[in-house]
Structures are given as C-alpha cells and as structure tokens.
Amino acid sequence: MEPIKALKAIKKITSDYFTSAHMASHNNKPVVYCNVFTPVELIYAMDMFPVYPENHAAIIGARKMATELSSAAEGMGYVMDLCSYARCDIGWTKAGISPTWGLPKPDLVLVINCQCGTLTKWFEVLSRLYNAPMVLIDIPHSGNGEKDLAAETYVRRQLDSLVKTLESIKGKSLDESKFKDVIRLSKQASELWTQMLIMGENVPSPMTVFDQFISMFPIVSQRGTETAVEFYGNLVKELQDRVETKTSAVPNERFRLFWDNLPIWAELGRLSSFLADRGAAVVTSIYTWAWSQLAVNEYDPLTDWTISTCTLSILTLITESKNMLN
C-alpha cells in the first residue's frame, strides 16, 4: 500500500493543538470543554479555546492506555459497563497520566445531547471535578429528520443564551465580522471533508476509512481555522491525483465494505493490514459522514445551525455513506 503523504501532517497538527490548549490560559483564552457537535465556531470567534474530552479518550485508546485509565475510573466507582471513552477521560484525572499531558482545567463545560446520553452525565462529572459551570444544549429528537418549528425556536433560544454566557466569561461581545470569518473557514473545511469522503465512490478507492479515521482530528476540533482548511485542501488534492492515476489504497481491490459504528482505535493498523491483504477496501462509514452536514452559512449561522441540528437524521447519514458501495 502506498501511504497518503498528506496524513503525515496529523502528528504535528495534534501536537501543536494540545500545546496551545495547555498554553491557552496564559494567552488569555478561556478553555471550553466541548463535545463534537457543539458549535465550535462560536468558541473560536470569541477567542476562546475548545478542548474535546472525546478526542482525549480516542487518543488514549490509540496509544493503548485504555486498560490502565479505565481501571482508574473504575477505582473511583464508575462501573466497567460505562462507555470506555468516559472511563478513559475520567480515569486520567485520578491516574495522572495521559498521552496529551492531560487536559487543561476548563472555564466552561459545554455539551449538546444529540449524540448519546452518556455524554451529558460524563460532562456533569467533569463540571463537578473542575468546579466549572456547565451549559447543556438540549436538542429534541425529531424521528427521521422532520421539520419541527417549535424545536427550532427552543434550540435557537439556547444558542442566544450560550452567546451571552460566552460573552460574560470572555468579558467582551461577539465580534460578528470575526464570527463570519470563522464560519467561512468552517464551511470550507466541511466541504473539503465531504469531497474527501466522496472519493470513496471511485474504483479503486484512493483511501479507506482507516485513513479517514486518522484524518478526523482537524474536522472535529479545528473547524473554523486555517489549519483545518490547509490540511484538507492538501489531502483532497493528493486524493484527486491518486484517482487520476488509479492509485489504490488497497492493492488488488476485490471487496468494498462498510464500517459500522466507532473506530477500534487500538487496532486500526492491524485491521487495516488484515483487510488489505485480502483485497478488502473499507470505503465508507456512517461515523465519518456525520461531519459532512455541519457547514452553515455565514449570513445567519445560528439559525442555519439550529435547523441542521434539529433535522439531522441518522437515516440520511446511513443512506449517504452506503451509496459509496455502489
């Protein structure tokens, strides 16, 4: 297999991000703990720093530290049936070890509950551990993505309240011009991310979901930054070149597969090699398609974000991702 050169940048991007996270308070940037579908663009526009406990847990898993840190959380009273992401992240606070030097203390804990129920309780724990205020954005479930005007009004009011909370913490008003600039960058990153995913339609496919998993970090944590746009711009350009030259991610591609659910972080390399040796290319996953629907317009981003969040349908994501198999 010929490796994708653009992916080499991920190591430095990740290292620089966590260095900046730990330096944030020294640079007058309040730290906001977020989960992946919160409107991170607001955080960047307010000159605050978003930190993702989920990312932290994924990196712990990838570095094969999950057993030790999960055990530490269990020693704090959290049962082993609890989500391993939560146990890994909570566990580091007791064990004191982490591949990212831990996470900086938050000034605010921000969580949106349209992912899973565990996240809300997990972030409540973090709020108590760090004695930090918590904001919950509550998203009503709308079945298969039907439009619900009452739900949209409800969510929009929460976003307006969130803006006031951020302004209070930062001590200044939201700069609408800067917010629009951040939104434009976020939209560019999301569009490039979607272009990358669509590359899976090609036969042979120029990348697999294992490559997509590796490339996720900027789209999760750095939407709204030049870093994300530059990285995905370089990645898409390289993938386009691979499509033109029919450079396959998997030699002698014979099977095209769909990956369902979360990555098995500690085993990505082994699984990738095992499947590639058998001519099997895993070309799409519902997990990676989630970020294809996050782009909003800079003219009224809060309204756009409200509508897209309230109508986000898991069935739509499944349909889009499985189309890559045709």
Model confidence pLDDT, tens digit, residues 73-110: 999 999 999 999 999 999 999 999 999 999 999 999 99
Q: Are residue 95 and residue 222 in the same domain, yes or no?
A: no
Task: Return the top range by mean pLDDT from 51-55, 262-266, 291-295, 297-301.
Answer: 51-55
Residues 185 and 239 in one domain: yes
**In the predicted model, is pLDDT for residue 300 greater than 60?**
yes
Q: Determine contact, residues 249/84, Cβ cutoff 8 Å.
A: no
Mean pLDDT along residues 37-54? 95
Cα distance between residue 93 and residue 23, in whole Å: 19
| Domain end position, chosen among 131, 153, 175 | 175
Q: What CATH number is given to the structural domain containing 119?
A: 3.40.50.11890
Helix (H) or strand (E) holding 325: none
What tokens does 320 get?
């889009």
* The last residue of a domain, from among 140, 175, 210: 175
Q: Which amino acid is at 200?
A: G
Out of 116, 148, 175, a domain closes at 175
Query: Does residue 183 sit in the same domain as residue 171?
Result: no
The pLDDT of residue 294 is above 80: no
C-alpha span between 233 and 189 (Å, rounded): 8
Answer yes or no: is pLDDT of 177 > 70.
yes
What number of other Cβ atoms are within 10 A of residue 193's Cβ?
A: 26
Predicted confidence at residue 176, as pLDDT, reads: 94
Residues 166 and 246 both lie in one domain: no
Six-digit token string for 66: 């999950």
What's the rounded mean pLDDT across residues 228-236?
A: 98
Interatomic CA distance for residues 252 and 176, integer angstroms: 51
Residues 166 and 77 in one domain: yes
Q: Output the DSSP codes for 30-87.
A: -EEE--TTS-HHHHHHTT-EEE-HHHHHHHHHHTT-HHHHHHHHHHTT--TTS-HHHH
Domain coverage including residue 51: 5-175
Residues 194, 159: one domain? no
Residue 322 has pLDDT above 80, yes or no: no
Half-sphere exposure of 46 (CA within 13 A, CB side): 25
Asked whether the beta carbons of 41 and 179 are under 8 A apart, the reply is: yes
* Residue 143: pLDDT over 60: yes
Least confident of 125-129, 141-145, 165-169, 188-192: 141-145
* 155-173: average pLDDT: 97
CA distance 256 to 61: 27
**Type of residue found at 256:** R
Using the 8-state DSSP alphabet, how is residue 256 labeled?
A: E
Same domain, residue pair 201 and 152: no
Residues 99 and 193 in one domain: no
Do residue 171 and residue 196 come from a single domain? no
Do 297 and 214 have their domain in common?
yes
Q: What pLDDT, on a 0 to 100 scale, did the predictor assign at position 31?
A: 98
- 93 and 149, same structural domain? yes
Average pLDDT, the chain: 92
Q: Identify whether residues 54 and 124 lie together within a single domain.
A: yes
How many domains, in total, are found in the chain?
2
